Chains A and B, each alone.
Chain A
Amino acid sequence: MKTIDKLITWSLLKSPWILHFNSGACNGCDIEVVDALTPKYDIERFGILQKAVPRHADILVVSGPVTRQQAKRLRTIYEQMPEPKFVMAVGACGCSGGVFDGCYGVIPGVDKTLPVSVYIPGCPVRPEAIIDGVVKLIQSVEGKK
């Protein structure tokens, strides 16, 4: 592994920055993602920061079943992120469409639009599950190193 790659992996492991995208979710998962950042769960202490710009982010956190309107925009955002990048599908609808499976405005599951690294189940997900998902993602990147 080149030194530059080692540096990139090291910085990813120490401070994975997340970008949160709502692709048609009911807001339940979105507030739980924000909840994980606020004092009770406070994942910011692990160096995880929520960013507003795709170009700053390492992990794309997608909630919702991906509506047809949002699919194109979701792909644009994903393309703007620098490598290495990962996608986390949050919630039952992010994983498989959940309760919205079969609705005409929905392409069920984030994995039909983007390659997904971590699936976090739950409707809505609990902040503990989000923390667990991030830890598992970091561990898998560490394993590859």
Chain B
Amino acid sequence: MSKITIPFGPQHVALKEPENFMLVLEGEQITGSTINLGYNHRGMEKAAEGRTYIQDLYLIERVCGICSHSHTTCYITNVEELAKCETPKRALAIRTLVAELERVHSHLLWIGVAGYEMGFETLFMYTWRDREQVLDCLELLSGNRVHYSINTIGGVRRDVSAEQKAEVMKRINYLVERTNYYIKLATEEPTVLARTQNVGKLPKNVAIERNAVGPTARASGIISDVRKDDPYLIYGELDFKAISHDTCDVFGRLVVRALELVESYKIIKQVLNNLPEGPIAVKVPMRIAPGEAVNHYEAPRGEDIHYLKSNGTDKPERLKVRAPTLANLQSVSYMLEGGWMADVPLVIAAIDPCMSCTDRAVVWDPKKGKKQTYGWEELRKLAIEQYRRRGVDFTRL
């Protein structure tokens, strides 16, 4: 059979960010793939060198709108380490609280997106409706829905009052109930199982070889969670489980994220019930002592690493960010190989890419020299149709 190369991306108009996949097809099966990045390159690391530490905080927050708290917390830990500042316990607890709320919002968002790519649009609407509850909590605590800006050098900007605590608790109890429904749906619904089981396989040894992180690695049976391995903030004192699953496929990634939601609710409740007393921030001088610092952080998508070098002025000399999606993209090309064209959207969505984008694919037949353009939407329909012929149909639910 003749080989076909398909550029996949870089524009995506529905959900995510830009990137490009070159897929080599043999019939309907994928035999190879290359990933091209850089469509979203803004030059933030260079920009960070020209701004002060406190200005950088707001720049770093905008590395990503979904895991903004992860990036600032990781950056600020570096700054505080270099400044040798003793951050108050209450501030650390509030940071943990916001971090877990962020994980809940990110995982709910992912379950919705995965449902959408499967053709299960009801699930998408359900999870996004419930996600509003978390966004309300975050708005209540920080004043903003997406970029919370709760962190400041030396602590946090806002305190948590008793009324806020009660309000957050109420919403979390509602979400616990809803999440039990999603877990039941993900593990028992035959249509979901048919679309996710044995799709996008990533065996344990390959996951280690390709440095998969976060839920992608944990679904391949690797127990790697920075919160457990190297506790930061107040995770060391909290009681929670590191979730892992050994099916190594999209189903495993769905289960891992759904079960992590439950752990996050547990953490949120523990933090709210045992908030330490004391100040929420300490003063830190503008100039930071020279030195280098590296820190890692378990973002919703995996391990996020920040490196910071200071030279004694009020501006950093070098800042380097390694976001989790970059680590996980290496495994995507493995997951795609040998799979079906129809599974591409779901497999790419399964790592929860934070800068992914796939809008249109051009099917090119070198023998006939013919080109056929697929939009993301058409590709999604193609996938849904193909599975419907195999008996997987969400409209019959």
Contacts and interface: CB of A to CB of B under 8 A. Distances in A.
Interface of A: 19-22, 24-32, 34-35, 38-40, 50-54, 65, 67, 69-70, 73, 77, 98-100, 102-106, 123-124, 126
Nearest to A57: B13
A124 B146 contact: yes
A19 B147 contact: no
A51 to B, nearest CB: 8
Given A27-B17, A30-B16, A124-B147, A73 B10 contact: yes
Contacts of B65: 25-31, 124
Contacts of A25: 17, 65
A73 B47 contact: no
A51 B378 CA distance: 11
Contact of B11 (A26, A30, A73): A73
Interface string B130-174: 001000000000000111000000000000000000000000000
11 contacts: A28-B62, A28-B68, A32-B145, A35-B132, A38-B124, A39-B128, A52-B376, A65-B42, A67-B40, A67-B41, A70-B39
A20 B43 contact: no
Contact of A77 (B11, B132, B147): B11
B193 interface: no
Contacts of B132: 35, 40
B62 A26 contact: yes
A106 B109 CA distance: 28
B42 A22 contact: no
Given A53-B375, A99-B58, A24 B14 contact: no
B282 interface: no
A31 B166 CA distance: 27
A106 B42 contact: yes
A104 B40 CA distance: 12
A105 B124 CA distance: 34
Given A22-B17, A52-B359, A124-B65, A32 B42 contact: no
Contacts of A77: 11
Contact of B64 (A19, A27, A52, A67): A27
Top 4 closest A-B pairs, CB basis?
A28-B65, A52-B377, A27-B65, A38-B128
A38 B377 CA distance: 18
Interface residues of B, number: 43
Given A35-B128, A52-B14, A69 B41 contact: yes
Given A27-B16, A39-B129, A105-B41, 5 more contacts: A27-B17, A69-B40, A70-B40, A104-B43, A106-B42
A32 B105 CA distance: 13
A53 B380 CA distance: 13
Interface string B56-91: 001100111110100000000000000000000000
Contacts of A28: 62, 65-66, 68, 146-147
B124 to A, nearest CB: 8
B13 A52 contact: yes
B342 interface: no
A99 to B, nearest CB: 5
Nearest to A100: B42
Contacts of B354: 27
B15 interface: yes
A20 B46 CA distance: 28
A21 B50 contact: no
A28 to B, nearest CB: 3
Interface string B3-24: 0000000111111111000000
Contact of A24 (B16, B39, B46): B39
B357 interface: yes
